[in-house]
Amino acid sequence: MRFIAKLLAASALAGIAIPAHAQDADVDALKAEIAELKAALEILSSKVEAQSQQNTQTQNEVESVKTTANQAKTTADNAQAAVAQASASPIDVEWKGAPKIKGEGGWSFKPRGRVQVDVATVDAPDGVSDPGLGFSNELRRVRLGAEGTVPGGFGYKIYGDIASGGFTLNDAFFYYKKDNLKLLFGHLNNFQGIEELTSSNDTSFIERAGFTDAFNFERRVGIAAEYTTNNVLIQGGVFTDNNEDLNDDGNNAIGLDGRFIYFPKFGNTQLHFGGSAHWRDLGDAINEVDFRQRPLVHPTDIRFIDTGDISNAEEETNFALEAAVVSGRFHAVGEASWHTVSRAGFDNPTFFGGAVEAGFFLTDDKRTYKAGVFKGIKVKNPVGKGGWGALQFNVRYDRLDLNDAGIIGGTQDSYQASLIWNPVNNVRFLLNYGLLDYSDVTASLANGTETDFDVNVFGARAQINF
């Protein structure tokens, strides 16, 4: 504005001064002054124009800053809205050997898995030669799966084993839970005893008691229910057959299974008493059954006791009793099982299996228990945090008798010991020894005419689970 005022003043002075000069000087001198004045006016005009352009640029910069500020405010508002939404719908992640993700309304998801690597040796009795004797090893289990919950009280679990190079389905079921009642649908365990229902991650020996495999305890497809109170568990269900057998045309086996457990707790002592009953109609597609067992360890494929195929089989019935106690570092558990095969036109054999075990922790740890089964150990002083982990010693007597009603499958009396080291949660190393006393050994494995002898067995396992 100052440049414009000066320009107007100079123009006015020029208009006044020109006539006076015209009277006193010649025309050439006047023209020179006018030229100089025009040059000065042009300089003033260019300065005014530059100032005007600078003002315009400054105004544009101001507008740009305003636009940037508005964008920043919008971004901040969006971030605040996202934080508010996240607070309204939280996602919680816990770590229990693997991430357990919990969402709004009851959603959850947790991957599950285990790897168990076994080595073993079975001493060969004099005169007995079999590829299953001596040293052996295997990937005992390589399982992968997941479990979780769904809003409305529903949940699921699916688990498969890939150790054999294929895929073997284990658990594959979903459930509905409300208060004390739980309904289950799918491929699941049909409520045998505490030894069978306790996870292989948490058993006291690398293999379960002999009768659990010999009597063909396994998961089957069915519908089941569980009712739990503070110290009572009732389980029952209707089952058909396992997943693989269901693919066979004409298989219409069906069974009823039930289990009752009373588990009171007195101070630091947990008690467990119960029993189970199982009945199974073998259907039209099954007319023979076989009962047999390995010598304590799984890597070997040898069976010293074996009934062979029992023909004309129509039904199976099983009754079992179980009891256990956990008190501080000490635990003990015992089971007995009677398994009867109903045959058309023949006597009905009843086979017996049972085991008693006791264990004690050499460290300040204990075996955990929950509503009918043993659970994993919570190591108090793990390796890496100034401790030595958990160290446990166990002994077991295991008997299996497959002789009855003209069936000579043999007997097995097993005296076992195990040492288990848990350096941290979810990792275990096991050492097992067994002295197995056999009678009426399978003819093909008999020592000449001798069917009674002892076998020494050593086994070891390295395990991780999540």
Q: Which of 36-40, 68-72, 84-88 has the lowest mean pLDDT?
A: 84-88
- 371-399 per-position pLDDT tens digit: 999 999 999 999 999 999 999 999 999 99
Contact 463, 201 (CB under 8 A): yes
Query: Which residues, 6 or more positions from 335, have their beta carbon under 8 angstroms from its beta carbon?
Result: 193, 194, 195, 209, 211, 320, 321, 322, 323, 354, 355
Rounded CA-CA distance 156/177 in Å is 11
Rounded CA-CA distance 116/460 in Å is 10
- Number of Cβ atoms within 10 Å of the Cβ of 439: 16
At 81, the pLDDT band (50, 70, 90 cuts) reads: low
Contact 316, 348 (CB under 8 A): no
- 442-457 per-position pLDDT tens digit: 878 877 778 999 999 9
Q: Shortest CA distance to 157 belongs to which of 145, 166, 149, 147?
A: 147
| Residue where the block lists tokens 């405010």 | 73
pLDDT value of residue 9: 42
Q: How far is CA 218 from CA 38, 50, 314, 317, in A?
A: 112, 94, 19, 15
Burial of 261: CB neighbours in 10 Å, binned 0-12, 13-18, 19+: buried
- 188-209 per-position pLDDT tens digit: 999 999 999 999 999 999 999 9
Q: Which residues pair with 352 in a beta bridge?
A: 338, 401
- 115-155 per-position pLDDT tens digit: 999 999 999 778 788 888 999 999 999 999 999 999 999 99
Q: Average model confidence (pLDDT) for the chain?
A: 87
Q: Name the more confident of 161 and 246.
A: 161
At 73, the pLDDT band (50, 70, 90 cuts) reads: low
Q: Name the more confident of 182 and 288.
A: 182
Rounded CA-CA distance 52/58 in Å is 10
Q: Which two tokens stand for residue 323?
A: 């009891």
pLDDT value of residue 18: 42
Question: Domain residues of the chain, as ranges?
Answer: 2-87, 92-465
- 426-435 per-position pLDDT tens digit: 999 999 999 9
Right CATH for 92-465 from 1.10.3720.10, 2.40.160.10, 3.40.50.720, 3.20.20.140 = 2.40.160.10
Rounded CA-CA distance 433/460 in Å is 9
Rounded CA-CA distance 362/393 in Å is 7
Percentage of residues in the chain with pLDDT exceeding 70? 82
Rounded CA-CA distance 172/302 in Å is 30
123 DSSP assignment? P
CA 279 to chain centre: 31
pLDDT value of residue 17: 41
Examine the pLDDT at 25 and tell me if it is beyond 90: no
- 29-48 per-position pLDDT tens digit: 666 767 777 676 677 667 65
Q: Which two tokens stand for residue 318?
A: 């099983």
Q: How far is CA 1 from CA 5, 46, 58, 65, in A?
A: 6, 14, 17, 26
Q: Which two tokens stand for residue 104?
A: 């709004």
B/e letters for 282-298, b = 16+ CB within 10 Å, e = fewer, are bbeebeebebbbbbbbb
